[in-house]
Structure 1
Amino acid sequence: MKLEGEHVFNGPREDVWEMFYDPAILASAVPGMDKLDVVAENVYEGVMNVRIGPVSGKFQGKLTLTDVVEPENLTLTVDGKGAPGYGKGVGKVAFIQNSDGTTTLKYDGDMNIGGALASVGQRMIDSVAKSMIRSAFETLDKALEARLAAKKTGTEVNFTPPTQTEFATGVAKDMVGGFTKVPELRLILYILPVVAVLVILALTLSK
């Protein structure tokens, strides 16, 4: 599965970079994640709930960052497995500072999925992954806004991540708009980065 695209964040590149190195923020981007821990430098391990159509269960995954050039780019390698199947992927992420003070994040990754997870169909997986990434970026937009506001005023960050219901509803709307209806759409942040990439690459993630 190929995942590529870009997203513009309304903030400086350094702040966007720092946000992507905050496990708490990344975990909040995709409700359903039980944990996301730093186990070594640039190595994360997480456990997430996954549900795509009739396939559901928990995934255990590892996310490794390599070729890190702060705050310009990095490479994500994800490896996850569980009762629903397995997923492995690699993605490159670039952070580009724009002249207007915004930051463009570009990602390009490939994900291989097997087991029961692959049985739901490539079209459904692709559409869910894209929607998950979009929703994750919306959450990260709000997180960045809160971090910048707190930095400016010298106060604590006031950010409340979306609930699982709110997140699933947003993804479901995307599905109804163009593809199959899917109840409770949750994946794993593999990607992250991008999270996806990517957050689903991040755990189908993970985008």
Structure 2
Amino acid sequence: MEQSREELWPYFTDPDVLAECAPGCTEMVLESPHEITAVLAVGVGSVKPEFNVDAIVTRLEHPELLELKAEGNAPRNEFELTATMEMIGRDDGGTTVAWQANADVSGTIVSLGGRALQSVTNRLVKKYFADMQAAVESGEGAESKLETAPQEVLEDVDTDLEEAA
């Protein structure tokens, strides 16, 4: 992206902008500065579950790093996800946004196979970043509203994930 990290950061940490740009997002609520709930409809072939998602910001370093953990539940489908976004400043003043996610998915959506899931995931990620670029270029304002969860919340999240494994 051509903008600096400082210019981009508010867009990537504003739940209102995230909701507009996230494919399939029908609702996103900032429950606290570190907790987001959302409803995401994801279609893979004939399977189109609507996930209720709970996400916690596990690490935030302005303006370069955002990490979150999320879990989503839909009828006969569920996932756990850890996602990291890193903003890397370039010599030309622009920013490279590196994104990585690790997800455990289970349910009927998995029956479609890894290749179908990977294809849909790649398409959704490309659409998200294209929509984010359009939001940034539109010049509409954005306000950074996210913070790292307090330590006791992070400990609860880690315990819940360990118990689920």
TM range (shorter): 0.7 to 0.9
Residue 73 (1) aligns with residue 65 (2): yes
Q: State whether residues 55 and 84 of structure 1, in contact with CA within 8 Å, keep that contact through their aligned partners in structure 2.
A: no
2:98 aligned residue (106, 111, 114): 106
2:108 aligned residue (116, 119, 124): 116
CA displacement at 1:91 relative to structure 2:
2.0
Deviation per residue, 1:52-88 (Å, 9 max, x gap): 1121231100121122111111212111011150011
Compared CA separation, residues 77 and 98, structure 1 to 2 (3 A): same
Q: State whether residues 56 and 84 of structure 1, in contact with CA within 8 Å, keep that contact through their aligned partners in structure 2.
A: no
Deviation per residue, 1:80-138 (Å, 9 max, x gap): 01115001111222111112121111122211100111111110000110111011111
What TM-score results when the alignment is normalised by the length of structure 1? 0.64
What code does the residue aligned with 1:122 have?
G
What TM-score results when the alignment is normalised by the length of structure 2? 0.80
Q: What CA distance in whole angstroms lies between the structure 2 residues aligned with 1:74 and 1:31? A: 19
Q: What CA distance in whole angstroms lies between the structure 2 residues aligned with 1:30 and 1:91? A: 14
State the SS of the aligned residue for 1:52: coil
Q: What CA distance in whole angstroms lies between the structure 1 residues aligned with 2:135 and 2:75? A: 32
Q: Which runs of 5+ in 1 are unaligned?
A: 1-8, 148-156, 159-207
State the SS of the aligned residue for 1:56: coil
Q: What CA distance in whole angstroms lies between the structure 2 residues aligned with 1:36 and 1:115? A: 23
Compared CA separation, residues 31 and 72, structure 1 to 2 (3 A): closer
Match of 1:26 in 2: 18
Q: What CA distance in whole angstroms lies between the structure 2 residues aligned with 1:126 and 1:146? A: 30
Residue 40 (1) aligns with residue 32 (2): yes
- Percent identical across equivalent pairs? 25
Compared CA separation, residues 84 and 103, structure 1 to 2 (3 A): farther
Q: State whether residues 87 and 114 of structure 1, in contact with CA within 8 Å, keep that contact through their aligned partners in structure 2.
A: yes
What code does the residue aligned with 2:28 have?
L
Which is further off, 23-32 or 69-78?
23-32
Match of 1:197 in 2: none
CA displacement at 1:146 relative to structure 2:
1.3
Residue 61 (1) aligns with residue 59 (2): no
Taking only aligned residues, the RMSD between alpha carbons, in angstroms, comes to 1.5
How many residues in Structure 1 have an aligned counterpart in Structure 2? Answer: 141
Residue 129 (1) aligns with residue 108 (2): no
